[in-house]
Chain A
Amino acid sequence: MAEEKEAKSIDQATVDMIEKATQDGVRIVFERAEAIKPCPIGAEGSCCSLCAMGPCRVPMPKGKEETPEEKKKRTGVCGATAETIAARYFTRKIAAGAAAHGDHGRRVVEAFLLAARGESADFQVKDEQKLLQLALDLGVEIGDRSNNEIAIDIGEKLMEEFGKQEGELLFLKRAPLKRQEIWRKQGVAPRGIDREVVEIMHRTHMGVDQDYQNLLRQGTRAALADGWGGSMIATELQDILFGTPAPVLSQINLGVLKEDEVNFIIHGHEPHLAEMLAVAAQDPEMIEYAKSKGAKGINLAGMCCTANEILMRHGVPIAGNFLQQELAIVTGAVEAMVVDVQCIMQGLTEVASCYHTKIITTDPRARIEGATHMEFDERNAMASAKAILRAVIDNYPNRGKNVRIPSHKTDLIAGFSHETINYLLGGLFRASYRPLNENIINGRIRGVAGVVGCNNVRVTHDDIHVTLVKELIKNDVLVLETGCAAMACAKAGLMVPEAAKEYAGEGLASVCEAVGIPPVLHLGACIDNSRILMAATAMVKDGGLGDDISDLPAAGAAPEWMSEKAISIGEYFVASGVYTVFGVNWPTIGSKEVTDYLFKDYEEKYGGMWAFEPDPLKMAQLMIAHIDKKRKALGIDKARERILYDMAMRRELEAV
């Protein structure tokens, strides 16, 4: 019997374009993944390549129990144990992820200060409300000062967070009080964003920290410097510069490309250039220029998290998620892919060389061999964006005949910042998380799940995300999403209010209908996982669901994770008290001790812990079981009889 081949994607547009790539003889990620299998020793965190005496491989024996003597011998040449090797590997992943988000945050602060000091005419404080919010957070004087004066103080204070050497990050104070106590007790309250990352790189250097628990403690500290530091700074200042997201209707999938217009895709993670391009693409002068080249107009679409940024704030359509980046080019209809940083495959240039598409790099930190480099100058942001857009338009006449745009596209509603959720739940005069908490307490909503993360070519594209989320909402779990996970569910039609009736359980559907929200809420880019932390904190502070994030009937997942950023995100969720399940593979399987420590002992320390489960339905069961465990601990697992007290009964109570 022939072996059944695993489907590459559940998304028909993706399947169609994989087929076209094969017809066109173009090598894409799906084909490369067949040619190169993951190294099984590296995948389980059992390979140490930190010094030139190695690399040393210390894999766990397969198919038999290891004797203590065998275990003792399973070390690198320096004597590093499988535990140290796995913990160093894991902690370095956190460092890389935290560095990526931290550096993103730093660039946002730089742009923010340029705007505040009037050194960039095109960036300015757009959201005064959020500016004032940050001023209150950071103790910046408001009074009668101008927005720019306030913004300079905010920017300077937040810039110091990166190089701070002692004390605590300022945003930690936003967390529930009990959570702050836990961080201090465990010695993981981060001092400065850069310091925690640098310290990991030192401690994981050959011959430094060789106690896996101590290594992981520093990993936690750096991850918290990501979630409650770099990521949160990026989200908040982007909101001030470009506006706090509010619900917006848009569309997603490769079908958003247009046959008769200049198509260009902005891909990566940082929104500065994308914001300018979104405006430039509507400039009548640029539209005229496109028409002079034979196009009917200009069509901007997004890819990955830059897409999420401009979707959340402007409703710019999304062409696809991580595994669709090459496929957008395979349509033959994309004049250029303009990239900034993170999750940009080097394979893009090879794919682009088979069509007319230009790959334009714009950031000095992220150049790609074979791409055209046009650096984005934040001081002259609009002029810079227009120069890039002209180059894109100039490429339109070069489009060939081999064009096939899939028809698939789906409506979605995005823009659910934690402030907007608060507003939607209670209205302008009674904005509150109370209705959410009440509906969790009364059982209409069983709990809340954060489903985030990437795509991974080692599993069927989008399948794990969509299967997991459908199972969660079917069981009355409200789902908050970011990143490529959000895009997968949007393509499956889960991000419109009508989805509640079709896919959600009766209780969740009734709440969604009353509030007018989808059962799966899009909170933004992967940097915006900080919005989920804030929403969880608001739920705690509203009351009735315990006094810490770990008390909430909530769980997290990254079912198709791929990048090191995902590990950092997962670690800061866990260290914030959230039970977090990852799919695909797990990078410490090579050490049972390290894995047990992350999966079991963490719960005692942080209230949250990790889990690994590649099967989406089993993953959903794990998350629901955890939610039920928390409901039981809160005493809201059963309906309670309601008694109306008369005066006599009240007096009796007071007497006690």
Chain B
Amino acid sequence: MEYQIEEKSAPGRDKVEVLGATFEKGKPEGEEMGRWCQKLGSREEKLKYLRTALRYWYSKDWFGSEKRKTPA
């Protein structure tokens, strides 16, 4: 995904760059309506998503309520 950078004025400073909105404008229609997986373009992005969003299974850092010394 390409991030949008917006310039905003901030108190005490002239202009600062902030991350813009990440939502997509408009309303999806037809076959693509509701689909979200295609927002992940490259294989790297897909793997990253798996390790973060589906961390329950695919992240080595994630233990959740299952943190334990001895694996089952």
Contacts and interface: CB of A to CB of B under 8 A. Distances in A.
Interface string A128-139: 110011001100
Interface stretch (A158-166, A207-215, A418-426): A418-426
B39 interface: yes
Given A127-B37, A249-B33, A428-B36, A142 B65 contact: no
Given A181-B72, A246-B36, A415-B34, A133 B65 contact: no
Given A431-B53, A432-B53, A133 B58 contact: yes
A contact residues, range: 35 or more
Contact of A543 (B50, B65, B71): B65
Contacts of B31: 314
Contacts of B50: 129, 132-133, 136
Interface stretch (A28-36, A170-178, A560-568): A170-178
B65 A540 contact: yes
Contacts of A248: 33-34
Interface string B6-48: 0000000000000000100000000101111101100100110
A460 B50 CA distance: 44
B53 A246 contact: no
B20 to A, nearest CB: 14
Interface in A494-538: 537-538
Given A541-B65, A544-B65, A420 B36 contact: yes
Contact of A431 (B34, B52, B66): B52
A644 to B, nearest CB: 24
A167 B46 CA distance: 31
A395 interface: no
Interface string A58-91: 0000000000000000000000000000000000
Contacts, number: 87
B contact residues, range: 20 to 34
A244 B52 contact: no
Contact of A547 (B33, B46, B47, B66): B66
B64 A180 contact: no
A339 to B, nearest CB: 26
A422 B36 CA distance: 12
A177 B39 CA distance: 32
Contact of B43 (A132, A133, A244): A132
A645 interface: no
A281 interface: no
Contacts of A538: 56
A415 B49 CA distance: 20
Given A429-B22, A541-B65, A543-B65, A247 B72 contact: no
Contact of A426 (B53, B71, B72): B53
Given A128-B43, A129-B49, A181-B72, A174 B37 contact: no
A423 B53 contact: yes
Contacts of B39: 428
Contacts of A541: 56-57, 62, 64-66
A275 to B, nearest CB: 14
A406 interface: no
B34 to A, nearest CB: 4
Interface in A219-262: 244, 246-249
Nearest to A414: B34
A180 B33 CA distance: 38
B56 A129 contact: no
Given A128-B46, A142-B47, A246 B34 contact: yes
8 contacts: A128-B46, A177-B66, A419-B53, A423-B36, A428-B1, A431-B54, A540-B65, A543-B65
Top 7 A-B pairs, shortest CB-CB distance: A431-B53, A177-B72, A247-B34, A543-B65, A541-B56, A543-B64, A541-B64
Interface of B: 1, 22, 31, 33-37, 39-40, 43, 46-47, 49-50, 52-54, 56-58, 62, 64-66, 68, 71-72
